Amino acid sequence: MRSLWLIPASVALSLSATLPSMALTVSFTGNLTGQPVFDSPDIIGTGVPTTTVGFGDIFPYSSQPFYVNTSGNYNFLSTSVSYTTNPNNNPAPLWNNVTILYQGSFNPATPLNNAIIANNDFPTQGLSGFNNVNLTANTQYYFVTTVFNPDDGYGTFSNSITGVAPVLGTVPTIPFEFSPSLGLLIFGVSGAFIRLRKQKKLSLLANKYEQKSK
């Protein structure tokens, strides 16, 4: 039986620079036990998911938002670490994790929307991920971790994103800043509009005066 669980677990961060390529790795850990569940995208190998498993909301999941400061290719890796939910079947050395990458937004109620790549077994059970995924700077992404079959058990994991400049969290909003030149432009336009209204009003009054004088 195929099932997946996603858990927004507590996140531990680590940052390291790798020389001489200057690749930057951001790492975080989590645990699927006790996390929210969804109907996971169905994926074997690597590709863009087009269907869900179809067993209902039985797969726990963990969603990590992130973005990158620099556009380019990035590598993703998830390693299952230990069981915290006992399997119904004979456990393998590592539980069978699945990863999915979303762009823009992630909604567990519509798990196929915005999914751009997913993987199971990279290349073996207990490892999941994808390499050389082209990401756009300052775009919101979500790295989702789940399990291939909940009946086979699941638990803690360690994930990493490697590239030029990955950052965990949501893209910061840019507050509106007043521009003096923009302010002058707006003032100039509004001033011209007021003058036009005054001229039109004076013209109407003049016409009325002429009609009364006749």
User: In percent, how much of the chain has pLDDT > 70?
Assistant: 71
pLDDT of residue 22: 75
Give domain status of residue 2, yes or no: no
Give domain status of residue 117, yes or no: yes
| Residue 154 and residue 68 share a domain | yes
92: containing domain: 14-168
| Residue 189 and residue 101 share a domain | no
Give domain status of residue 7, yes or no: no
pLDDT of residue 213: 57
CB–CB of 24/166 below 8 Å?
Answer: yes
pLDDT band at 189 (very low <50, low <70, confident <90, very high): very low
pLDDT of residue 1: 43
Q: Please name which of 99, 59, 106, 109 lies closest in space to residue 75, comparing C-alpha atoms.
A: 99
| Residue 85 and residue 139 share a domain | yes
Q: Please name which of 40, 44, 129, 29 lies closest in space to residue 84, comparing C-alpha atoms.
A: 29
In the chain, the number of structural domains is 2
Q: Please name which of 70, 144, 159 lies closest in space to residue 113, comparing C-alpha atoms.
A: 144
CATH label of the domain that carries residue 66? 2.60.120.380
pLDDT of residue 34: 96
| Residue 203 and residue 115 share a domain | no
Give domain status of residue 3, yes or no: no
pLDDT of residue 202: 56
pLDDT band at 10 (very low <50, low <70, confident <90, very high): very low
SS3 128: strand
Q: Which amino acid is at 99?
A: T
CB–CB of 125/96 below 8 Å?
Answer: yes
Task: For residue range 55-99, list pLDDT tens digits in order.
Answer: 999 999 999 999 999 999 999 999 999 999 989 887 889 999 999
Please check the confidence at residue 2 and state whether its pLDDT lies above 60. Answer: no
Degrees (nearest 5) of the Cα angle 60, 63, 65?
A: 180
In terms of pLDDT, which residue wins out, 145 or 21?
Answer: 145
3-state SS of 60-85 is EEEEEEEEECCCEEEEEEEEEEEEEE
Mean pLDDT, the chain, whole residue set:
82
The answer for residues whose C-beta is within 8 angstroms of residue 158's C-beta and 6 or more apart is 27, 28, 29, 78, 79, 81
